[in-house]
Amino acid sequence: METPISTIHSGFDDEERCNLHLGDAVKWLKGLKTESVDLLVTDPPYESLEKHRRVGTTTRLKNSKASSNKWFQIFPNSRFEELLEQIYRVLKKNTHFYLLCDQETAFIIKPIAESLGFKFWKPIVWDKVKIGMGYHYRARYEFILFFEKGKRKLNNLSIPDVLSVPRIHRGYPTEKPVELLDILINQSSNENEVVCDPFMGSCSTGVAAINSNRRFIGNDICEEAYEISIERLILCK
């Protein structure tokens, strides 16, 4: 059975601005053309989240209607190589790639990405301003791994490597603030370029992209996330 694909015009009458897909991230990326993406920003449901959930140090995997994690199919560490291979392939030359993750996952992703040809610049720190859960110093930050394919200058060299943006409270699990994605998108792309997110969740990246006059292509394996994304993007511009 074919997975659903939705095209959303989001107020732009002359051109197609959004394309959303429901399915496996790697399989979807394999269907994209080589060097067809100008910027990729994503937040995979990494394996260590499940470990934290089991010991009660995070609520990120909880459905808002219950205490289950049915919204999430964890993306295992063993699949990061095939994911990063496809991300490298679909990105154009001289582009950027941002991946949000915790400190444990960062150590896994960095060497794989570098072996495939990415240049790793640094971990940007997302300061969530509001304290989260945990036992051994409660969490208040998350890493944004900053990679480059080829060479591309940032649009604003005055932006610091610590981004202080309040976390979303009681939103969709793992929902990122649009303001945070605005910074990354405006730093590493130009108007009308294609922004991609293979783990779009509730589509904050898509909202930020459309509001910044970019094109957006996104995917998620969760049907509820897919439906929420359509609803959010219809309301853009």
| Calpha distance 5→204 (Å, rounded) | 18
CATH fold of 17-174+197-214 reads: Rossmann fold (3.40.50)
Averaged pLDDT, 184-204: 97
Backbone dihedral region of 129: left (phi > 0), alpha (psi from -120 to 50 degrees) or beta?
left
Q: Which DSSP string corresponds to 55-76?
A: TTS--TT--TTSS--TT---B-
Arithmetic mean of pLDDT over the chain: 87
Q: Give the confidence band of 118 by pLDDT, cuts at 50, 70, 90.
A: very high
Q: Give the confidence band of 68 by pLDDT, cuts at 50, 70, 90.
A: very low
pLDDT tens by residue, 2-37: 556 666 544 433 357 899 999 999 999 999 999 999
* Residue 75: HSE in the Cβ half-sphere, 13 Å Cα cutoff: 23
pTM of the predicted model as reported, rounded to 2 decimal places: 0.88
Averaged pLDDT, 156-173: 90
pLDDT tens by residue, 200-219: 999 999 999 999 999 999 99
